[in-house]
Amino acid sequence: MRAVLLHSKGRSLGFPTPSPTKDMEDLQKNKPKYEIGINKVGITNLAIPLKIKFGSKVNLVSAKVSAFVDLSADKRGTHMSRLVRILTSESKKVISFKQIENILTVIKKELEAENAYLNIEFNLFDLKKAPVTKNEGYVNYTCFIEAEKNSVVSVKLGAEIFVTTLCPISKGISNYSAHNQRGRIIVNVLCKNDKLWFKELISDVEKCGSSELYSVLKREDEKFVTERAYDNPKIVEDTVREVANILKNNENISEFKVSCENLESIHLHNAFSEVTLKNG
């Protein structure tokens, strides 16, 4: 049946009448054609604002979030809209180790799952002072969190950190100067507890290059950074070992992976090194 709406001149516009609401069956609870359990099912790359603490400040960041649960063999599907609702609600609080655990607990409960998983990637900005003039500028770090909850909670923190590295081999064979390049360090650590967060992790790693990087450098700062790198030369193996030594002696870390890639300035290739260790 169609409802008839009349134009001002009496002509029918012919808009259809909305159909009555059907009883909406929850198909997810039906048995699937093939009763095979699924390890992970959920949503990926949900863009959402998050509050991330860095030192004494809380940063509002734009994050990409993925969330998953396991699915038993007798269920056809999961309720993905619940994941969006949970993430939207819980993201209003500052993201911390404890808040990650809370999110996973809610996901497990509301989706009736044995296991819940959460991946978060975002850019974190630190207002960093130049070494001499103390001029401030923002430095960007790509950070990520990988967390899961079954009978226990495990949380991995990760970050991409750039440093300057100066080649000791070049310094040793050259009459003038030495070649240097930007080093790209990626760390991924499994936390033992809630005492480790991004500020400490990033600060420790930045010390392992020939010099840190800054956003704003006046001449006095540039002289300082250049000479510091020259006095502190490192090959890629030196850098990755120095980071690994700091991480393996951190009582808040149970295992980690660290890699360093030097984006070479005089070669057509990059130099790479990686260490994976379990602490204790």
What is the pTM (predicted TM-score) of this model? 0.86
DSSP-assigned letters across all residues of the chain: ----PBPTTS-B--PPPPPPPPP---GGGSPPSS---EEEEEEEEEEEEEEEEETTEEEEEEEEEEEEEEE-TT-S---HHHHHHHHHHHTTSEE-HHHHHHHHHHHHHHTT-S-EEEEEEEEEEEEEE-TTT--EEEEEEEEEEEEEESSSEEEEEEEEEEEEEE-HHHHHH-SS---EEEEEEEEEEEESSSS--HHHHHHHHHTTSSB---S---HHHHHHHHHHHHTS---HHHHHHHHHHHHHT-TTEEEEEEEEEEE-SSSSS-EEEEEEEE--
- Under the banding of pLDDT at 50, 70 and 90, the label for residue 1 is very low
Average pLDDT over residues 247-275: 95
Q: Which domains does the chain have, with CATH numbers?
A: 36-278 (3.10.270.10)
Please tell me the distance from the alpha carbon of residue 189 to that of residue 280, in angstroms, as a whole number: 14
Check residue 79 and give its pLDDT.
87
Query: What sign has the CA pseudo-torsion 215, 217, 223, 224?
Result: negative
pLDDT, tens digit (0-9, with 9 covering 90-100), for 205-226 = 999 999 999 999 999 999 999 9
Tokens of 199: 């500020």
Residues in CB range of 58: below 8 A, 6 or more apart: 51, 52, 94
Nearest residue to 121 (alpha-carbon basis) of 91, 99, 144: 144
Lowest mean pLDDT among 30-39, 48-57, 79-88, 260-269: 30-39
Average pLDDT over residues 28-32: 71
Query: What sign has the CA pseudo-torsion 207, 136, 160, 273?
Result: negative
Nearest residue to 103 (alpha-carbon basis) of 112, 114, 116: 116
Tokens of 76: 């056809």
pLDDT, tens digit (0-9, with 9 covering 90-100), for 41-97 = 999 999 999 999 988 889 999 999 999 999 999 888 888 999 999 999 988 999 999
